[in-house]
Amino acid sequence: MIKEFSLGSTILVDKPLKWTSFDVVNKLRWHLRQKLGVKKIKVGHAGTLDPLATGLLVLCIGKHTKLINDLMVGEKTYTGTILLGKTTPSYDLESEFNEEFSTDHISEEMMESVRKAFLGEIQQIPPIFSAKKIDGQRAYDLARDGKEVVLKANTVQIHSFSIDTKRFPEVDFEISCSKGTYIRSIASDFGRNLNSGGTLIALRRTQSGEQHINDAKSVDEWIEFIDSSEL
């Protein structure tokens, strides 16, 4: 019954493109409130996905919101596509292309060498268009205001990183990494390390800890479940 479900549950949502993580939280929370006839119910997510990313979003409801920090620690797996030869300020398609670079010199051997260099523990500088705080302000707010943004490198772990170059200059990939890894920065650094440019043009989270996208439902499926459930 939905009343028991809402007291303490963890659900898996396949986040649609262009939705923020909070859009998903707010939508499902509204339907839960309407169904239960309550003014408040706790709903939170265990790890943000950018609006241009799709895939696994872990939502915690009721007492399970206390589990969010534990759920966020797990290894993450993503699939996606890097476009070589072009860059944007945000490292993805949130902003317009601002520079173009040659890709004529890039060989399979170069890409394989660069891929291997990412494996293991690496130092990564987050994108300036990120939620990182600088003196209490979000980096993306400073960047959008045209102010200089200097972010410190973080230590992250890349457990696996595979690439498929059949559609070059688009490079499809799958990557498993630690919490806090910015895949946009991976895309940008991948292009830079090839003496070119790189932009993340597609991203999908398929796994977070022990949770997998194959067990997730769409937002519409969860809404139907909530609205049609017995109290």
Mean pLDDT of 205-210: 97
Q: Do both 6 and 81 map to the same domain?
A: no
Residues constituting the chain: 231
Q: Do both 90 and 113 map to the same domain?
A: yes
Looking at residue 153, its pLDDT comes to 85
Answer yes or no: 164 catalytic: no
Q: Do both 224 and 157 map to the same domain?
A: no
Q: Do both 178 and 96 map to the same domain?
A: yes
Closest among 85, 96, 161 to 129, alpha carbons compared: 96
Looking at residue 129, its pLDDT comes to 66
**How far, rounded to the nearest angstrom, does the alpha carbon of residue 196 sit from its chain's CA centroid?**
24
Say if pTM beats, i.e. exceeds, 0.85.
yes
Within 13 Å and on the Cβ side, how many CA atoms surround 99? 16
Mean pLDDT, the chain, rounded, equals 92
Q: Do both 128 and 219 map to the same domain?
A: no
Domain that holds residue 40: 2-73+212-228
pLDDT, tens digit (0-9, with 9 covering 90-100), for 170-189: 999 999 999 999 999 999 99
pLDDT, tens digit (0-9, with 9 covering 90-100), for 125-156: 888 666 666 666 665 665 666 666 667 888 99
* Strand runs labelled E in the chain: 8-15, 43-45, 53-62, 76-84, 86-87, 99-100, 120-124, 133-134, 137-138, 154-164, 170-177, 198-208, 211-212, 217-218
Q: Do both 107 and 198 map to the same domain?
A: yes
Residue with tokens 């809404």: 223
Q: Do both 174 and 216 map to the same domain?
A: no
Q: Residue 128, SS3?
A: coil
Q: Do both 97 and 144 map to the same domain?
A: yes
Q: Which residues contact 68 (CB under 8 A, 6 or more apart)?
A: 44, 45, 46, 60
Contact 88, 94 (CB under 8 A): yes
Mean pLDDT of 103-120: 98
Q: Do both 65 and 86 map to the same domain?
A: no
Say which of 14, 23, 50, 215 is annotated catalytic.
50
Contact 87, 96 (CB under 8 A): no
Of the candidate ranges 9-18, 35-44, 49-58, 147-156, the one whose mean pLDDT is the lowest:
147-156
Residue 7 has pLDDT above 90, yes or no: no
DSSP H stretches of helix in 43-102? 68-72
Residue 62 has pLDDT above 90, yes or no: yes
Q: Do both 55 and 139 map to the same domain?
A: no
Residue 31 has pLDDT above 80, yes or no: yes
Residue 94 has pLDDT above 70, yes or no: yes
Q: Do both 195 and 83 map to the same domain?
A: yes
Closest among 124, 138, 133 to 179, alpha carbons compared: 124
Q: What is the CATH number of the domain that holds 168?
A: 3.30.2350.10
Looking at residue 132, its pLDDT comes to 64
**Per-residue confidence band for 230, with pLDDT thresholds at 50, 70 and 90:** confident
Phi, psi of 192 (to 5 degrees): -60, -40
Domain count for the chain, please give it: 2
pLDDT, tens digit (0-9, with 9 covering 90-100), for 116-125: 999 999 999 8
